[in-house]
Structure 1
Amino acid sequence: MNLYLDIIIRSVSVYFFMVIALRIFGKRELSQLNSADIVLILLISNSVQNAMVGSDTSLEGGIIAAFVLFLTNFILKKVIDKSPFIKELVVSKPQVLIHNGKIEFKTLAKLSITSDELDEAIREHGVENYKAVKLAMLEIDGNISIISGESALKQTHHKRKIHKTLNEL
């Protein structure tokens, strides 16, 4: 097989593997990387490098692999925008944590958000307790949004801290 075609096929395969793996293992809070997450990403990038370029260590091979990754990402984003089915598979949805002062405990458990984390987010938004929260959402970027107040709604954002160890990744 042509060496560059081989790099293209390998790069696309690795890209889709990484998208699927991130979806399965729940790393939707990529804006909230901790040191263990950064180490994991560095190690993964090193481990899949040879899978993409094989024995080719040339400048052209590296540029082709990088270009294919950018192009594949661009195409996937276009497909996600046009296909609700693919969007459902790849993109997570915002999750309701509190609705009209009532905590969604099942959602918190499913998302591994502790009551301490939720309390911290509420306090950081200047709200005294969860009963005053109209709506608290875990957004797709990992932020916790809080809408509170009675007549004048107040909205703020809280970046969720990820407290995962290497064993949990």
Structure 2
Amino acid sequence: MQAYVEVIFRTIAAFILLMITSRILGKQTISNMTFHDFVSGITLGAIAANLAFNDKLNHWLIVVSLLIFFGISFLVSKIAIKNRAWNRLVSGTPTVVIENGKVLEDNMRKIRYTLDSLAQSLREKDIFNMEEVEYACLEDHGKLSVKKKSEYEWVTRKDLKLHAAAVQSFPVELIMDGIIMEDNLAHNGLTAQWLEQVLRQRGKSVSDVFYAVRGTQNQLYFDYYRDRIDTPID
């Protein structure tokens, strides 16, 4: 009887600890799971399972192990937010697999992504003809993002009033978390001086910008640290 009671209490403790640690680690762990999130989730689950059922191990040692691993995972996440290079290392980076309607075989081989997987992911987005795709990008959480060619896109209310313009280029990230993406600018014939001049015209500086991107129609989008939203939706 005592063994059953111990298992009950250990299971409850494991559940509570997992709920608390998952809550602190954030929604990223249960939504768009990256390499780091996958490893964290699997390991925390395994440690919690031992806490619940493995009575051969001291429960306090398992709790300490779980808390240490949680601390490591939390620290890695915090560093990844501040350091883009570290974030690329632990989370991976997106990979373009279709560009200008052409499948990039070398990129697919590098990430061991097969044509069958590509076709399946496209079908899940109701795309059965690959010729409809202008760009496709495999995100670091394993999901495929797709930009259709203009002639295959759905008509919107805006399209009924304005003629849809042809796709000019793949979106170019200019600023991320207040840092200018120098490589992106150089690869697209842009300069930091041009970007700073555009911001000055808007009465802003680079330090004011959280995220900036040049869209497919060469339009510029800026998201500032101060969004002037009093009660943002969680």
TM-score normalized with structure 1 length:
0.54
Between the aligned partners of 2:70 and 2:35, the Cα distance in structure 1 is 20
Structure number with higher helix proportion: 1
Matched, 1:122 2:153: no
CA deviation string 1:24-48 (max 9, x = no partner): xxx94987xxxxxxxxx69xx58xx
Aligned CA-pair RMSD = 3.1
Identity of aligned residues (%): 24
Match of 1:37 in 2: none
Between the aligned partners of 2:152 and 2:132, the Cα distance in structure 1 is 12
Tell which structure's C-alpha radius of gyration is larger. 2
Q: What SS does the aligned partner of 1:70 have?
A: helix
Matched, 1:136 2:161: no
What are the ranges of 5 or more consecutive residues in structure 2 without an aligned counterpart?
Answer: 1-33, 51-55, 155-234
Matched, 1:96 2:96: yes
Deviation at 1:62, TM superposition (A): 1.1
The answer to whether the 8 A contact 1:102-1:130 is kept is no
Between the aligned partners of 2:133 and 2:37, the Cα distance in structure 1 is 26
The 3 A distance-change label for structure 1 pair 142 and 73 is same
The answer to whether the 8 A contact 1:137-1:144 is kept is yes
- Which letter maps to 2:125? H
Q: Which has the higher contact order (CA 8 A, sep 6+)?
A: 1
Match of 2:226 in 1: none
Between the aligned partners of 2:59 and 2:123, the Cα distance in structure 1 is 51
Write the mapping of 1:52-67 to structure 2, written as runs, cut at 5 A. 57-67=57-67
Matched, 1:87 2:87: yes
Between the aligned partners of 2:36 and 2:142, the Cα distance in structure 1 is 4
Deviation at 1:80, TM superposition (A): 1.1
